Structure 1
């Protein structure tokens, strides 16, 4: 009996090297590896970077595009929430005739990514444009630090599932479906009511005071700059 896998080939023999991972590298772009993926429909050469089109939303609206898809199947829920919210703001601004907010670029740059490209939306950027993007990218540096599990309006305390370190005195962004706001951590306690100064890492829950919120589907991000 042959030990060559045939599961993905409709019963025909599959080459033993077909399950290896391969990358292409353009001669003029050393270090930018393009992954090659294969399924039953064919072989695909993927970009080495993530596509970002947020600065082109106004132009897409102007030419009649009425739907944008955020690809988040392999990303965290924090990435998906932040990205969808950011594009939603850009779309709302475009439809209302408001100018693009370059700070939105900083929000996306701060998320885990492989480096961004706007692909064929814009073939070549000027040096000034690159500096423009870089400046806003550095202005919005954050780290996902917690997820709100519940909120007690009687005490004003929220139970937070800690994801990364944050401390009393830190400035956080409270990310909610109804809109975001900045807060400062005024105090913190563990689930037994004992005072804490720092949540040092993930894997447990703490309580912190929050302004009144109407949704418990909230996230917290700590400003790092």
Structure 2
């Protein structure tokens, strides 16, 4: 995790591109990581510091613990801060759904129940209006856009009280979202 070293990286003159690890990662991992680094780079050039945002977003990801890869301060030190006791550590959020390219349907990645609300995560340049439909609602809570489900209607015509990650049918969103957005829920307290 080099998000705390963006200034040094960009000012080094030695780096033309940043590679985001994503080969064996989920869409959520790759999307949130790229989004956090995009914000860090844009903030650097705009002379803003929003490091708490980058850290909090990266902490939403399941991972084995973060290191700076021994690139910045300890190039020869071999103390390992990664978690090797378990396969992966839980992030502070659980991904509930991935929105498809139409923005009207999503695939379930973790349980969603009627009456529950999930946080909407979308690209920085995107926005959605608050509103209601017969399926649910988009509203704002503490500065965050949320989606509540009053009904869960599948693309195959069935209606459910809850949907789980094993379901292979897309479900209708109450209102359209930007393509490839995510719905998530907090599982752990804030880390900062």
1:207 pairs with 2:157: no
Report the alpha carbon displacement of residue 85 of structure 1 after superposing the two structures with TM.
0.9
Is residue 160 of structure 1 aligned with residue 106 of structure 2? Answer: yes
Within 1, Cα distance between the matches of 2:145 and 2:38? Answer: 19
Matched, 1:53 2:16: no
1:185-224, aligned counterparts within 5 Å? Answer: 185-191=148-154, 192=157, 194=159, 196-203=160-167, 204-210=169-175, 212-213=176-177, 215-224=178-187
Deviant stretches of 4+, over 4 Å: none
Cα separation, 2, equivalents of 1:87 and 1:68: 9
Correspondence 1:170 to 2:156:
no
What is the TM-score normalised by the length of structure 1? 0.57
Q: Residue 99 of structure 1: which of 49, 62, 77 is its match?
A: 49
Question: Based on CA coordinates, which of the two structures has the bigger radius of gyration?
Answer: 1
Counterparts of 1:199 and 1:117 in 2: how far apart (Å)? 36
Q: Which runs of 5+ in 2 are unaligned?
A: 75-90, 128-143
- Structure 2 distance, partners of 1:197, 1:115, is 36
Gapped regions of structure 1 (runs ≥ 5): 1-51, 124-139, 153-157
Distance 1:200 1:61 in 2: 43
Alignment partner, residue 89 of structure 1? 39
Change (3 A) 1:200 1:223: same
For these two proteins, the number of residue pairs brought into alignment is 150
Q: Over aligned residue pairs, what C-alpha RMSD do you find?
A: 2.5
Q: 1:96 to 1:160 in 2, by over 3 A?
A: same
Task: Tell me the alpha carbon deviations over residues 129-179 of structure 1, each in whole angstroms, 9 at most, x when there is no partner.
Answer: xxxxxxxxxxx8211111112657xxxxx3211111123332322324734
Which TM-score applies when normalising by structure 2? 0.66
CA positional deviation for 1:193:
6.1
